[in-house]
Chain A
Amino acid sequence: MKLNKYRKKSPWILHYNAGGCNGCDIEILACLAPKYDIERFGIINTGNPKQSDILLVTGPVTKRSRERLVEIYNQMPEPKVVISCGACASTGGVFRGMYNCEGGIDQYIPVDVCMRLRYQTPNKSLTGLYRHSPSWLKNQKKWNHP
């Protein structure tokens, strides 16, 4: 019995704000609300790395949040997918080059889906969450045992 098709049916999100302006966050949370209702795809916002499949990161990684990001990423069991959400998380965006920011999460953890937009809308988050990342989840095959 191939279990990996069920990965697609219940991807659980862990949403982490690595020092962003909350602009993307409210758009993501809007997805949970009745209008977009991502729960119909089986997506739950768990808030617990140990039980989630998708790490959804917003914000340019500030120096303070860097270690926490890596720690949380490590605590997520594979298969897992990282989505960098918004321009800041993907490249640093307008914060790029600032003394307190790292400019993009891909310097620290492998990013699978990158939503490199200047701003987020629920529609676009949905595309990222529902269309792209589950297929990444499904196709993830092996992971290295430490």
Chain B
Amino acid sequence: MKNEWLQIVLIILAPVIGGLIAGFERIIRARMQRRIGPPLLQPFYDFLKLADKRKMMVHSTHVFLGLMHFLALWFALAVLILGGDLILVIFLHLLSSALLILAGYSTRSIFSHLGANRMAISILAYEPVLILMAVTIYMINGSFDVSVIFSSGESLILKMPLAFIALLMILPVKLKKSPFDVAEAHQEITGGAEIEFSGIFYEAVYTAKWLDNVFCYTLVYLFGAGNPLLGAGLVVGVFLYVNALDNSSARVNYRQMLRFTIGVALPVAFINLLLSILHIL
């Protein structure tokens, strides 16, 4: 019973946790560059400031889809935390991305279209790896349910190290970090699909990014679910890795990104799947 309350609290507070992660991320990134960086609560200041701006939109469809992107992502996260089916979670996440992509396409803005195109392409980059990861988990646990991973009590990272490496390779794509941040590309297409949002509507997209943080790090935590310490260690390690990578690498174009994720990350995940099917790992 206690566990269920924890889950529900986690789901409700997910945007707050995500915001804290985002704030911490900005500090860490600043420190890596020998800067001081903004205060921890900076994302929330941004949030409150955006709430106060004048409401402006390109058209209603666009902003409505943006709001729904946030809700859909929250819902996908809720299913993940409540221990739902992993394949369903992946596709619900796809649904939320699809809503943002549709929002991007729905305006007649060049940057918005470019960003949506690139988001669609980055789905091709990360989704197969996630599905292979889910099937590998099925091979080990005999179930696609996330709750089984928690209750089984063993750490997946020992059973599927290669899948974890593949996840590390695609996480920058999902979190839109360098070198795979073509979809957002702030200096190049000024935010891609989210460019046309402003004020309170941008807030939805901005907070959705926080939720994406929680989503991704929950996926990472699954690998150490058996042992909370190990799980937390993995999350912290991956957090540092993602930000160090973001700081130290330049953006690659989408072709290079696809070539890397499909040519390297996917085979790595596949080899792990093969090994667990053959009961070697």
Task: Give residues in A with beta carbon < 8 Å to B.
Answer: 3-4, 6-7, 9-10, 12, 34, 37, 39-42, 46-48, 50-51, 53, 75, 77-79, 143
Decide: A10 and B46 in contact? CB cutoff 8 A.
yes
Chain A proximity mask over B55-85: 1 for CB below 8 Å, otherwise 0: 1100000000000000000000000000000
Q: List 27 A-B contacts (CB under 8 A).
A: A3-B52, A4-B52, A6-B48, A6-B49, A7-B52, A9-B42, A9-B45, A10-B49, A34-B34, A39-B30, A39-B38, A41-B38, A42-B38, A42-B39, A42-B45, A46-B190, A47-B186, A48-B190, A50-B56, A50-B195, A50-B197, A50-B198, A50-B202, A51-B50, A51-B202, A77-B56, A79-B53
Chain A proximity mask over B22-46: 1 for CB below 8 Å, otherwise 0: 0000100010011111110010011
Decide: A10 and B52 in contact? CB cutoff 8 A.
no
Question: Would you give the shortest CB distance from A79 to chain B, in whole angstroms?
Answer: 7
Question: Within residues 200 to 221 of chain B, which ones have a CB less than 8 A from any CB in chain A?
Answer: 202
Residues of B close to A48: CB separation below 8 A: 190-191, 195
Decide: B33 and A34 in contact? CB cutoff 8 A.
yes
Give Cα A21–Cα B51 distance, bound, in whole angstroms: 37
Give Cα A75–Cα B109 distance, bound, in whole angstroms: 13
Give Cα A46–Cα B191 distance, bound, in whole angstroms: 9
Q: Any chain A CB within 8 A of the CB of B181?
A: no
Q: Any chain A CB within 8 A of the CB of B54?
A: yes
Decide: A10 and B197 in contact? CB cutoff 8 A.
no
Decide: B52 and A51 in contact? CB cutoff 8 A.
no
Q: Any chain A CB within 8 A of the CB of B151?
A: no
Decide: B49 and A7 in contact? CB cutoff 8 A.
yes
Closest to B191 in A: A48
Residues of A close to B39: CB separation below 8 A: 40, 42
Closest to B187 in A: A47
Q: Any chain A CB within 8 A of the CB of B199?
A: yes
Question: Would you give the shortest CB distance from B53 to chain A, in whole angstroms?
Answer: 5
Question: Would you give the shortest CB distance from A39 to chain B, in whole angstroms?
Answer: 5
Chain A proximity mask over B128-171: 1 for CB below 8 Å, otherwise 0: 00000000000000000000000000000000000000000000
Question: Would you give the shortest CB distance from B72 to chain A, in whole angstroms?
Answer: 22
Decide: B196 and A50 in contact? CB cutoff 8 A.
yes
Residues of A close to B26: CB separation below 8 A: 39
Residues of A close to B55: CB separation below 8 A: 77
Chain B interface residue count, CB cutoff 8 Å, equals 31
Give Cα A51–Cα B34 distance, bound, in whole angstroms: 27
Residues of A close to B37: CB separation below 8 A: 37, 39-40
Closest to A41 in B: B38
Give Cα A48–Cα B42 distance, bound, in whole angstroms: 19
The answer to whether A47 and B42 touch (CB under 8 A), given A10-B49, A37-B37, is: no
Give the most central of B37, B42, B187: most A CB within 10 Å: B42
Question: Would you give the shortest CB distance from B189 to chain A, in whole angstroms?
Answer: 10
CB-contact partner of B42 in A42, A77, A78, under 8 A: A42
The answer to whether A3 and B49 touch (CB under 8 A), given A47-B190, A48-B191, A51-B198, is: yes
The answer to whether A10 and B198 touch (CB under 8 A), given A37-B30, A50-B56, is: no
Give Cα A10–Cα B34 distance, bound, in whole angstroms: 21
The answer to whether A10 and B42 touch (CB under 8 A), given A47-B187, A50-B56, is: yes
Question: Would you give the shortest CB distance from B132 to chain A, in whole angstroms?
Answer: 36
Give Cα A10–Cα B197 distance, bound, in whole angstroms: 17
Residues of B close to A3: CB separation below 8 A: 48-49, 51-52
The answer to whether A34 and B56 touch (CB under 8 A), given A39-B30, A48-B191, is: no
Decide: B197 and A6 in contact? CB cutoff 8 A.
no
Q: A4-B52, A47-B186 are in contact. List 8 more A-B contacts (CB 8 A).
A: A10-B42, A34-B33, A40-B39, A42-B39, A46-B191, A48-B191, A50-B202, A79-B52
